[in-house]
Amino acid sequence: MHIIRSTCFSLRMKILFLPIFSFLLLNLLLSPNIHAEDSLEDVKKSAEQGDAEAQFRLGVMYENGEGVPENDRTAVQWYLKAAEQGIAEAQYNLGLMYDNGEGVPENDRTAVQWYLKAAEQGIAPAQYNLGVMYANGEGVPENDRTAVQWYLKAAEQGIAPAQYNLGVMYANGEGVPENDRTAVQWYLKAAEQGAASAQFNLGNMYSNGEGVAENDRTAIQWYLKAAEQGNAEAQYNLGVMYANGEGVPENDRTAVQWYLKAAEQGAASAQYNLGVMFYYGEGVPKDNVQAYAWISIAVAQGNNDSWKNAKETVADSMTRDEIAKAQKLSDDLWKAFVSTR
């Protein structure tokens, strides 16, 4: 039986995620009565007298443990005072605290309320988070059109995750008419800021000729950028393209290197292809033990009949001792993979 390799991923990754950062003190516009060199007592005094920026600053200090013991509940109290006086950064941080359940019980509806107040004042991360909340139906009814509106506001201020998510929405026709050209434009903006998922999706668009002219060489360039940041799907696609000589000279050794990187992250198709390379001795010395082990791990992750057949084909050319050795190697590889998840 001839064992056939798997081919490229053509999926578009959809990763809607929340930023984990807060506005820090460096983003605060200090009032004439609050100076960076002010003591904690001075800041507290101003905050207790109702100075909103001092209240926000004190919230940041308690959240980050700057000059005071870290205390999220106290941070929330001071953020609330500042937020009620219209400090947009405090409104955003308060939204984060409710979103993450830090210092208060987790409450998506309350998080949305504070994000909205900050977003309406132009705070880009709040606009992005609102987009996520509407896209996922967290704290509000799910609404892709509203999500797109908030992503757009954040994207126009340069927030890379918002640019990436807009690309996904246009590529999939969610909340907007499907438009691959517009998707490419937003992926590009995010990719140029280093967003690995956008780089991977941009590689897919060039590989498939969606929204741009098909160009394997350009696809390779974007896959490489994503792969170097640890994107397993991009690493796998690079392996396929080097194995097939698409956009680059055919090079089995380089294909094996990229398959291995993806396989070690748990990409089943990469594990399978790596096993195939060992079986045929392409890019590596022929090694049925390695072939059996890697294909076994791939089979364990998915119900693929062709992979199961390949595993049986490899086993037919092995001794009992070799199979036992391969099974142990497979178990060891699987344990190493699981331990890193």
With contact defined as beta carbons under 8 Å apart, do 64 and 70 qualify? Answer: yes
Q: How far apart are CA 206 and CA 192, in angstroms?
A: 15
pLDDT of residue 35: 59
Say if residue 15's pLDDT is above 70. no
Q: 131 near 147, Cβ under 8 Å?
A: yes
Q: Is 334 exposed, middle or buried (0-12, 13-18, 19+ CB in 10 A)?
A: middle
Give me the pLDDT at residue 281, please. 96
Q: What percent of the chain has a predicted confidence (pLDDT) above 90?
A: 82
Provide the pLDDT for residue 3.
Answer: 52
- Pick the range with the lowest mean pLDDT from 18-27, 82-91, 283-292: 18-27
Q: Which of 78-82, 248-252, 329-333 has the lowest mean pLDDT?
A: 329-333
d(CA 8, CA 184): 19
pLDDT at 339: 76
Question: pLDDT class for 90, splitting at 50, 70, 90?
Answer: very high
Does residue 249 or residue 5 have the better pLDDT?
A: 249
DSSP labels, 116-175: HHHHHTT-HHHHHHHHHHHHHTSSS---HHHHHHHHHHHHTTT-HHHHHHHHHHHHHTSS
pLDDT at 23 over 90: no
**259 contacts 273 by C-beta, under 8 angstroms:** yes
The whole model's pTM is what? 0.87
> Secondary structure of the chain: what % helix, strand, coil (to 5)?
65, 0, 35
Q: Is the pLDDT of residue 2 over 70?
A: no
Does domain 15-25+41-123 bear CATH number 3.30.420.40? no
- CA distances, 168 to each of 56, 165, 236 (Å): 35, 5, 21
Q: Rounded distance, CA 199 to CA 189, Å?
A: 10
pLDDT in tens, 116-173: 999 999 999 999 999 999 999 999 999 999 999 999 999 999 999 999 999 999 999 9
Q: pLDDT digits over 181-205, tens only?
A: 999 999 999 999 999 999 999 999 9
Q: State the Cα–Cα distance between residues 186 and 212, nearest whole angstrom.
A: 13
Q: Confidence band (pLDDT; 50, 70, 90) for 37?
A: low
pLDDT at 244: 94
* Average pLDDT over all residues of the chain: 89
The whole-number average pLDDT for the span 34-47 is 81
- Is the pLDDT reported for residue 28 higher than 50? no
Quote the tokens at residue 231. 């994107």
pLDDT in the model for residue 269: 93
Query: Given a cut of 80, is residue 22 above it in pLDDT?
Result: no
Which of the pair, 1 or 270, is modelled with greater confidence? 270
* Structural domain boundaries in the chain: 15-25+41-123
Q: Please give the Cα distance from 113 to 129 (Å, whole number).
A: 11
> What's the pLDDT tens digit per position in 296-315?
999 998 778 899 999 999 99
